[in-house]
Amino acid sequence: MNCVANILLMLALWQGSIASLMRQGNEMGSVGYIEHLLSLIEEGEGRRLENALVAHPRLRVLDKDLDRIREYIKTDFVAQMFHEKIVEHGEEILKAPPVVRPPPGPSGILTTVRVALDRVYTMGLLYRLSQPANQTWLQRGWKELHAAVNFSDWNPSHFLDVAEMTHTVAIGYDWFYNDLTEEQGSLLEQALEVKGFQPALKGYKDKAFWSVYPDNWNNVCNGGMIVGMLAVADSKNCPSAQSVGQHALKALPTAMESYGPLGAWPEGVGYWAYATRYTIFAISSLETATGGDNGLSSWPGFNSTALFVVHATAPSLQFFNYADAGRYTITEGPTDTPSLYHLATRFNIPAAAYLQRLKLQRSGDATPEDLIAYTPAGSFEDLAKLPRCMMFPRQNVAIARSSWSDYGAAWLGIKAGLTHEGDPHGHLDVGSFVYEATGHRWAIDLGADSYALPEYFGSKRFTYYRLRNIGHNTLTFNEDNQATDANASLTAAINCHGTSDVGYMSIDTNLTSAYTPSNISYVYRQFSLDYVTKELQIYDRIGYGESKASTLTWALHTYANITIQNPSTTAQLSYGPDRLQVSIVNGLDHTICSGTTFSYAPIDLAPPQESTKGVNKLVIQAPAADCKMLTVSLKPVQF
């Protein structure tokens, strides 16, 4: 049986069995679901093949799709803006030399690979949309592809580089296929075989972590290989495509499980954008090349993952940036999440499409992917229909806001969940929170530090300030780190989920597992948000048992100016004329601590850690054994 037959046989089998499989999925649970799916793939040899790969171009954008995109460009002002931005970007690319392979750094050659990817997508889409065909885009696209395939290798020691370059060359090969000479096509095929597929086969044989572990590396590496396989599965120059495709289709479902049950991504929104982008590359390419996505989009939680991002986007359009994320705003970080367009259309979530358009209109930017998946669906009214509070079980993250219509709404992100051993990008941030109100982010998360720091993912990881609990808005005993294997839970909630008009929400967390290094008996933290006054109250209850902890520190990081008021149980944070009052709440069932007062200090980390200039840290320090209940109020000052 030839290369195409084996690959498409498996696809046909998976497509045919997915309906019955999905009926069983909820009863079996996610682990049984995966095992059953893989067993069906293994048992598929010998089934009759009835489908075939469609003709080139067949990846992501068929020729018939171009008319839809052209019509949007003619009739929709947002699509017009996107197209103008992409043309401007294309003209800038024409002035730049093709990529050159750099020496690998801490992140391999990934930055250069992504430049190539962006250029190939830009040249390819502009060429295919142009009428009459603009040969300038074709010629510049070929120069980029030629440079990429002439790299000595695609850096298999950092396999993300191989996966992204495989995807890049596959898209260029497919989109320019009908205009390539036989020699050019063969050069691209041979590069995919030698520099993409053969290193991938070695990785699958050696059980490389990206082939078995359920994080973003899985989505990217296997998603990239699926796109590469679909481009050249019918080429005699790519004998490894068959095997690579089988391995990748088996491996990707392990990562798909991470979306369950409600769509949150354990590595945060930044890595959600990366993982989901490559998941959609694979899904959309399977659909255009074979007529179906073989059940990948039916995986539990994937149908609601766009809503995770919608809720995790604050009124300021900054994200809830827990784990290894940056301080993402509309001009920084993964602001362009075109996956939202794809998901909005597939699962009828118009609010996600509206949010993506809003972000891009404010940033004034767009990429080819935004135009490929563009939809004018969605309006503010679709956002307003969503619940104001959502909890995401398993990942144990909760997000709430006082309003969808008020730019100055109160917005709260709560991080419980896993620390590092459950998530390689995780921080010791159990119990931390991010809080916005009146148009300002008052309580911030510092996000990731530089991946180039010594042993950032190794033995020194939790010597760096941003990654320790002392660098987050949570509790610390002495200066002990939280446990690296913690999994804190959301234990109870009031008025979270649904569309109730009740004016507040409350969520309880059990943080005890994070404080085993300090031998603390229990730590419970409750968050209550008043939707009317925008006041946030944080109520901590602590049991010390046999612990020898001597000090308790409550912390909040902010870019706001801080003034300690008299008495020093109150602090005022300010951005210009806007004020937030932070108070220790005394009285029955609130604060049982001796001598608790506020203090603060600027935090500016010394090299090689990245600077935190402008960050202030508001703290309460108290004798640990004498502080068993502590309530703090954060309330915007009304003028």
> Would you call 580 exposed, middle or buried from its count of C-beta atoms within 10 A (0-12, 13-18, 19+)?
buried
pLDDT of residue 590: 73
Residue 501: pLDDT over 50: yes
Residue 95: pLDDT over 90: yes
Alpha carbon 18 to its chain centroid, in Å, reads: 27
411 strand-pairing partners: 401, 436
Contact between residue 565 and residue 571 where contact means Cβ atoms under 8 Å apart: yes
Nearest-10 Cα torsion for 271, 277, 282, 288: 170
Task: Tell me the per-residue pLDDT of 296-331, one tens digit each, with 9 for 90 and over.
Answer: 899 999 999 999 999 999 999 889 999 998 765 444
Task: Tell me the per-residue pLDDT of 404-444, one tens digit each, with 9 for 90 and over.
Answer: 989 899 999 999 998 887 788 999 999 999 999 999 999 99
Task: Tell me the per-residue pLDDT of 527-572, one tens digit each, with 9 for 90 and over.
Answer: 999 999 999 999 999 999 989 899 999 999 999 999 999 888 999 9
Domains annotated on the chain, with CATH: 3-383 (1.50.10.100), 387-636 (2.70.98.70)
Q: What gap in Å lies between CA 3 and CA 411, rounded to an integer? A: 53
Residue 30: pLDDT over 80: no
pLDDT of residue 12: 47
Q: What gap in Å lies between CA 14 and CA 35, rounded to an integer? A: 13
Q: Classify residue 608 by its DSSP letter.
A: T
Say what angle helices 198-205 and 216-232 make with each other, to 10 degrees.
130
pLDDT of residue 293: 83
Alpha carbon 634 to its chain centroid, in Å, reads: 29
Residue 149: pLDDT over 80: yes
pLDDT of residue 77: 94
pLDDT of residue 3: 52
Contact between residue 488 and residue 482 where contact means Cβ atoms under 8 Å apart: no
pLDDT of residue 52: 56
Looking up tokens 């006041």, which residue turns up? 535
Q: What gap in Å lies between CA 145 and CA 268, rounded to an integer? A: 33
Report the half-sphere exposure of 279 (CA within 13 A, side-chain side): 36
Contact between residue 340 and residue 306 where contact means Cβ atoms under 8 Å apart: yes
Give the predicted TM-score (pTM) of the model.
Answer: 0.90
Contact between residue 481 and residue 373 where contact means Cβ atoms under 8 Å apart: no
Alpha carbon 527 to its chain centroid, in Å, reads: 25
Contact between residue 544 and residue 592 where contact means Cβ atoms under 8 Å apart: no
- 427 versus 359: the higher-pLDDT residue is 427
**Mean pLDDT, all residues of the chain:** 89
Q: What percent of the chain has pLDDT over 90?
A: 76
Q: What percent of the chain has pLDDT over 70?
A: 89
Contact between residue 426 and residue 419 where contact means Cβ atoms under 8 Å apart: yes
Contact between residue 263 and residue 302 where contact means Cβ atoms under 8 Å apart: yes
Q: Which of 47-56, 184-193, 210-219, 597-606 has the lowest mean pLDDT?
A: 47-56
Residue 147: pLDDT over 90: yes
Report the half-sphere exposure of 358 (CA within 13 A, side-chain side): 21
Task: Tell me the per-residue pLDDT of 367-408, one tens digit each, with 9 for 90 and over.
Answer: 999 999 999 999 999 999 999 999 998 899 999 999 998 989
Q: What gap in Å lies between CA 574 and CA 196, rounded to an integer? A: 53
Q: Which of 60-74, 236-250, 316-330, 610-624 has the lowest mean pLDDT?
A: 316-330
